Amino acid sequence: MNLVPELEAAVGAENVEPLPDFADPPCYRVTPGSAAEVAEVVRRAGDAGAAIHPVGAGGRPSRVDKDPKGERSRVFISTRRLDQVLQLDEHSLLVHAQAGITGLDLERILTPRGLSIGDYPPVVLTSSLGGILAVRTPGKSSARHGFFEDAVVGVSAVLADGRTVHTRVAPRRSTGPDLARALCGSEGTIGFITSAVLRIHKKPEARLVAAYLLPSFDAAVSAVLFALREEAAPSGLRIYDAGEAARHFDGLVLPPGNTLVCAGTAGPTDLAACDRDLITSAVLAEGGTITDHALADLWWRRLHAGEPTPGPAPTLQIMATPGKLRPVYAAVNAEAARLGAIARAHVSRFDPDGAVMFFTIERDGVPADDTTCAAIERAADAAGAWLLGARAVKLDAYLRALRDTLDPNRIMNPGTLS
């Protein structure tokens, strides 16, 4: 079957483009303008024996691993034209938006109405809604509003045979499995997400920031975990060890052994103050003190107003459960010291499962070599850390069974998550 006339019939010739970098077999980028057109492209491409690759704000075909079914024509379906808000319910605080809209564009629509997607740093919102949900990136979390996918109350997606599934169940107290959960994080292998209904929030009335000094890294972790156990819901929390504080705050020198904690709270003024007070109480209980408020101001501006953070990007990004944060930090520092290197760290993105630790590893003032970094990573692993974004491979058998049923010819993002 000739693929081009099929694709042109689905979306119009002006929205079909051959990709010269992928000439043999020929590959195409198509840009549908509606969910119905996505379904038509998937159906026709599948019938023609081609593979499908959704493309979000990344904007270019990427992550195309080897096709396990042999070389086939590929159709890269861009969500660029699926960039509309379909419905905004300001009363129920729900928005139904198409998959191609970026988080930032959605936020631009919500802000003038006093609404917001939530406390996600702008840098994570440059992705498309479909891309954010399809990858379920571990970085897209906020202490106050949880992971981005926690806001999802429904997803619409096109399956490999061109059928469309709408997972939204209203009222939500109806029973049955939440199929949106399977689509989130499936990286386009189970379905092509065309839109999602998200829970949104009122813009906070108040935003408070505070900075604290703790006598040690362990005390800082204990204070933060204590505050979270007390159900403080900050919009941001970060721990800096002394080395990282010096780098982030223009050579700031902390008293020996001390650690800096920055916290941001938000919401109705009383609630924001209450959350801040819970954190302050936890800090005081761990022997800490309140310190220069300007440090927290600068931290928040860098996180949310795009001010650059000085220095290189972290060398090692790992996750650890609450009980492992301290041993992992100790293990990384011990191994760095053994190898004559220095590891600096900040810790953020706290949730009930732990936090993300960002280490920058240097020797003699320059980034440490790969062998040193690999040895330190092994030490972190032995102490119970996971690499950020590590996949739960023990669930692969279930994913394969689902894909076998829904997509026996493996046309949806073949080579991904396999």
Give contact residues for ligand FAD (rule: CB under 6 A): 53-58, 63, 79, 99, 124, 127-128, 130-132, 134-135, 137-139, 187-188, 192-193, 388-389, 413, 416
Q: How far is the CB of 284 from ligand FAD (least distance, A)?
A: 33
Contact by Cβ (8 Å): 345, 358: yes
Nearer to ligand FAD, 281 or 317 (CB): 317
Amino acid present at 318 = I
User: What does the alpha-carbon distance between residue 414 and residue 51 come to, in Å, rounded to a whole number?
Assistant: 7
Q: How far is the CB of 388 from ligand FAD (least distance, A)?
A: 6
Nearer to ligand FAD, 56 or 314 (CB): 56
DSSP structure class, residue 95:
E
For 184, residues 6+ apart whose C-beta sits below 8 A from its C-beta are: 133, 134, 136, 149, 152, 155
Among residues 409, 389, 394, the alpha carbon closest in space to that of 187 is found at 389
Nearer to ligand FAD, 194 or 258 (CB): 194
Q: How far is the CB of 93 from ligand FAD (least distance, A)?
A: 23
3-class secondary structure, 177: coil
3-class secondary structure, 60: coil
Q: Which regions of 159-287 does DSSP assign to beta strands (E)?
A: 164-166, 192-199, 201-202, 206-214, 236-240, 259-267
Among residues 228, 261, 266, 248, the alpha carbon closest in space to that of 352 is found at 228
Contact by Cβ (8 Å): 220, 285: no
Nearer to ligand FAD, 52 or 210 (CB): 52
Q: How far is the CB of 147 from ligand FAD (least distance, A)?
A: 11
Q: How far is the CB of 366 from ligand FAD (least distance, A)?
A: 26
CB atoms within 10 A of CB 66: 10
Q: How far is the CB of 269 from ligand FAD (least distance, A)?
A: 31
Nearer to ligand FAD, 127 or 265 (CB): 127
Nearer to ligand FAD, 130 or 154 (CB): 130
Nearer to ligand FAD, 85 or 252 (CB): 85
H helical segments located in 184-268: 217-229, 242-248
Buried b (16+ CB within 10 A) or exposed e, 355-368: bbbbbbbbeeeeeb
Nearer to ligand FAD, 223 or 347 (CB): 347
Q: How far is the CB of 185 from ligand FAD (least distance, A)?
A: 9
DSSP structure class, residue 231:
T
Q: How far is the CB of 300 from ligand FAD (least distance, A)?
A: 19
CB atoms within 10 A of CB 405: 9
